[in-house]
Amino acid sequence: MILNTINLTMSYCNRTPKIFCVLIFLFSILIGKSFAQSNIDDVLQKKYLFYGEAKFQLYEFRAKQNGKEEGKIKIKYLVKDAYQKFVELNKNKKILLVTAASFTSAFFNNGTPIGICAYEGEFLNKMPNQTMDGLVVINPNGLFDINYVSDLDIVKKECGNLTCNHRFHLNPRENVLDSYYFYDWIQKEKLSVFQTQLVYSHLKTKDENFKNLSVGVNSKRRRFLVLAKKDNELRNIIVNSEKHDYVMKASKDVYEMLTDNGYVVDFILNLDTGSKNLLHVHNGKYLENLRPNTTTKLARIERASNLIVFYTENNTTYNEDTIN
Amino acid sequence: MKILSTSLLILFQLFVFGQKSDLNGLDLNSLITINKNYEYYSIDDYSKAFDSAIVLKSDKINFKNNIIGNVTLSALAKSIIDGIDNNRINVNSKETISLLSKFRAHKYFIYQPEVNKTIKFFGYMCLGEYAHLYSIIGNNKSLLVITIICGLVLAVILLHVFGKIQWRFKNFLNKIILVLFVLSIVLFIGFKSTCDCNVSEYSFYGIPVN
């Protein structure tokens, strides 16, 4: 964009006084910058919302941009040499947001993902974690979709309004025959999947979801992946909180905050904010590291054990992008 | 005659073995029996059942066997984790460690508890993450109290070393402090030079920590 602007300005400069050239050049850069920013705003909305004293950063992706072209934003779950895969993806895609996703036993090295985990049909762990109730299959066609997320606390006979016996609602944690169907489906369709804590599920009542708010530790920052609807349109929202809090307390605050703001929440999934806590978001010019001053080098993207990446197909508008 | 017999053989193989790669045509009731209660299985029984399941899973001709093998593996893995949770299975015994490694080779990571805080502490020390250790101590009240007590003890030792405190057994204490000082330096250097291979998620110099 800037290179085009320079070329156009230089060709014009051969025929006009230099002061006009400088003014036109500066004006063009301003226009170019605002254009780039508005392009990002079309696909990624950033905002702050409050609930009581808690302040949350929201990064919201919509299934449709300007009411058209469904599926413009895509998602990848990168695991096993996650950084190398991220670098490859960054070469020909426009990365909008990248964050740590599921939990691993990793400490000194890549480690093993906790719970069921597969990358594009290849399983890294087939053993379901017995306590984590969220199973997330990456939708190959767009945003995280409600049909691709399973609440493992819900057995088939109680799957509510969902279509029972559908492959999306298999429960490999509770039923070994389901586990066969599920693994077979993931391998054949070359899908990626991870397991994490489902801290809110629309398949349970509010009381069932938030019955114990002070479980675990309150010494961690929190980040959630939210699947919600607003104006009947699917939204994927990464909600980030810098406040140290209990996971269920923070998730309840997120649920109340989003509900108060007109969202219909389907699922809230917990994301890893442990020693490998990282969040990079595109700021209109480049992918910005929002946690640059971490106290541990484990929290660098180069050391990530797994990543969720929101991206669009590459756009020539952003050729000047760099990773910070 | 040869053509007829070959055709019959092919038809027989298709009928018997040529099942589609889904569960159509498979008697699901036969799989229900796999999901049985393994409560009374010993580690040796599990190991034998695992070996049988792998044989079935590897059957490329009879797809039914492949499915039964896969489902059996899942059922065994689930039973083992239940056994560990109920303390029926000792996770640190040699037999269990060997059994779990067999499952890991087939992507069943059965036992993955949260990494112990002590391991994490020494792990960060091994990686030279002192700033992170400082922040952990600052955010943990009990660790902060322990650190303050250690700081006070160190201050008393320094005062003693510089002759600001007169103890009854000064010479004896000097010897103890010197030995502890040298020992801590030797241990620290030894730890830093060997920790890479000896501190892992669930063990500290060969001692299981989980």
Tell me the pLDDT tens digit for each residue of A195-218. Answer: 999 999 999 999 999 998 888 777
Report the gap between the CA of A90 and the closest CA in chain B (Å).
29
Contacts with A, B 147-186, CB within 8 Å: none
A279-282, strands of its sheet edge to edge: A74-79, A306-313, A93-100, A279-282, A287-289
For residue A54, the Cα-to-chain-centroid distance in whole angstroms is 21
Report the gap between the CA of B187 and the closest CA in chain A (Å).
21
Residue whose entry in the numeric block shows the structure tokens 């015994």: B93
Stretch A52-63: mean pLDDT, rounded? 90
Residue B102, judged by CB atoms within 10 A of its CB (0-12, 13-18, 19+), counts as middle
Stretch A161-182: mean pLDDT, rounded? 76
What is the pLDDT, as a whole number, of residue B120? 84
Does B100 share its domain with B123? no
What is the pLDDT, as a whole number, of residue A315? 55
Domain count, chain B: 2
Residue of A165, A171, A176, A183 best to disrupt the B interface, most CBs of B under 10 A? A176
Q: Is residue B124 part of a domain?
A: yes
Q: Do B132 and A125 touch (CB under 8 A)?
A: no
Does B60 share its domain with B122? no
Does B130 share its domain with B94? no
Q: And the tokens for A287? A: 């992918």
Residue of B65, B112, B125, B136 best to disrupt the A interface, most CBs of A under 10 A? B112
Q: Is residue B36 part of a domain?
A: yes
Q: Is residue B7 part of a domain?
A: no
User: Which domain does B183 fall in, by range?
Assistant: 117-208
Q: Is residue B2 part of a domain?
A: no
Q: Is residue B6 part of a domain?
A: no
Residues of A with Cβ-Cβ distance to B123 under 8 angstroms: 107-108
Q: Is residue B146 part of a domain?
A: yes
Question: pLDDT tens string for chain B (210 positions)?
Answer: 444 443 333 333 333 333 333 444 555 555 555 556 787 899 999 999 999 999 999 998 888 888 889 999 999 999 999 999 999 999 989 999 999 999 999 999 998 887 888 888 888 888 888 888 888 888 778 888 998 999 998 888 888 888 887 777 778 888 888 899 999 999 999 999 998 888 887 888 988 887
Give yes or no for residue A157 having a pLDDT over 60.
no
Does B100 share its domain with B131? no
The helix (H) or strand (E) run that includes residue A260 is: helix A247-260
| Domain finish residue from B76, B104, B132 | B104
What is the pLDDT, as a whole number, of residue A320? 37
Does B23 share its domain with B98? yes
pTM, to two decimals: 0.77
- Angle between helical axes of B170-198 and B117-127 (0-180°, round to 10): 90
Give yes or no for residue A63 having a pLDDT over 90.
no
What is the pLDDT, as a whole number, of residue B100? 94
